[in-house]
């Protein structure tokens, strides 16, 4: 899917919707590791899609291909007497577990595991299916009955709980930081909107003042025209009076001429 720089986007993380963000903001979140190709994005908050389908964020070939390995494809390690041994295939560990050479409390690890854990927690080794077992130890040349240490069964799950709580706290911190950045961005947008509204109001007032000035100029011009017209009318009336006076004088002269004759 392609988009333009003017398109705005919403993102949804754990059911919470944030935005809108321009494309540049999504690219910044991607570069900061706060948005990956599985994050849900939308233009209208009605239809959602994975961010990896947006070419401007993830061009072809930029998303790593996740290869899922089975237990038999992984390299395994185990610890005995404080020494780490490996890599070995899973079949080797299974033979050691069945013969008693690998005891259930001894630690093992393979790619994909968060940390080292007791062999009894690896289902492929058969401990979970058989339950508590009796294993033989060849360290002293005698077979010694060994039960699964109760302490390991409590410590390891407790460690996983602490790890999950730590990851939850870190996720809450990341969400809080994103919310803080969103708030700052929203405040900037609100400030720009207020500035824009003030500019529009100022322009409206200026237009009103200019219109008032124009109306005053028109009224003054009309008043001046009326005064000029009044002066012209008075001048015409004065000229008419003078003309009548001249006619009266001429008529009087003619009458006197007749009388004298």
Query: pLDDT (tens digit, 9 = 90+) per residue, 186-228?
Result: 998 899 989 989 988 999 899 989 988 988 999 888 988 888 8
67-96 burial: b if 16+ Cβ within 10 Å, else e = eeeebeebebbbeeeeeeeeebebebbbeb
Distance CA 196, CA 182 (A): 21
The DSSP letter of residue 64 is P
pTM comes to 0.28
The confidence score (pLDDT) of residue 178 equals 92
The DSSP letter of residue 51 is G
Neighbours of 113 (CB within 10 A): 14
Strands 107-110, 49-50: pairing is: unpaired
The confidence score (pLDDT) of residue 161 equals 81
The DSSP letter of residue 149 is P
- Residue 66, CB-side half-sphere exposure with 13 Å CA sphere: 4
The confidence score (pLDDT) of residue 136 equals 40
The DSSP letter of residue 74 is S
Strand order in the sheet with 83-88: 83-88, 76-80, 107-110, 117-118
| Token pair belonging to 212 | 């008032």
| Token pair belonging to 8 | 């705005």
The confidence score (pLDDT) of residue 56 equals 82
Are 78 and 110 within 8 A, CB to CB?
A: no
Are 80 and 52 within 8 A, CB to CB?
A: no
The confidence score (pLDDT) of residue 139 equals 42
Distance CA 104, CA 152 (A): 10
| Token pair belonging to 209 | 């003042």
The confidence score (pLDDT) of residue 175 equals 92
The confidence score (pLDDT) of residue 15 equals 78
| Residue ranges of the chain with per-residue pLDDT less than 70 | 1-5, 61-73, 126-154, 156, 254-261
The confidence score (pLDDT) of residue 133 equals 42
The confidence score (pLDDT) of residue 177 equals 92
């Amino acid at each position: 899917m392609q988009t333009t720089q003017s398109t705005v986007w919403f993102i949804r993380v754990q059911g919470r919707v944030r935005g809108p963000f321009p494309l540049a903001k999504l690219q910044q979140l991607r570069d900061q590791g706060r948005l990956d190709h599985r994050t849900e994005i939308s233009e209208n908050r009605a239809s959602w899609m994975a961010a990896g389908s947006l070419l401007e964020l993830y061009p072809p070939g930029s998303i790593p291909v996740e290869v899922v390995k089975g237990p038999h494809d992984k390299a395994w390690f185990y610890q005995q007497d404080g020494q780490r041994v490996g890599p070995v295939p899973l079949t080797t560990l299974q033979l050691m577990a069945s013969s008693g050479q690998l005891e259930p409390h001894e630690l093992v690890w393979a790619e994909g595991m968060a940390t080292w854990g007791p062999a009894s927690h690896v289902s492929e080794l058969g401990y979970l299916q058989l339950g508590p077992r009796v294993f033989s130890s060849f360290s002293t040349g005698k077979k010694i009955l060994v039960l699964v240490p109760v302490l390991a069964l409590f410590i390891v799950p407790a460690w996983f709980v602490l790890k999950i709580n730590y990851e939850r706290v870190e996720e809450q911190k990341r969400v809080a930081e994103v919310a803080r950045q969103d708030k700052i961005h929203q405040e900037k947008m609100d400030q720009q909107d207020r500035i824009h509204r003030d500019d529009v109001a100022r322009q409206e007032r200026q237009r009103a003042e200019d219109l008032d000035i124009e109306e005053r100029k028109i009224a003054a011009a009309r008043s001046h025209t009326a005064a000029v017209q009044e002066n012209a009318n008075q001048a015409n009336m004065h000229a008419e009076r003078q003309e009548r006076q001249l006619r009266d004088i001429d008529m009087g002269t003619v009458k006197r001429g007749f009388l004298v004759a």
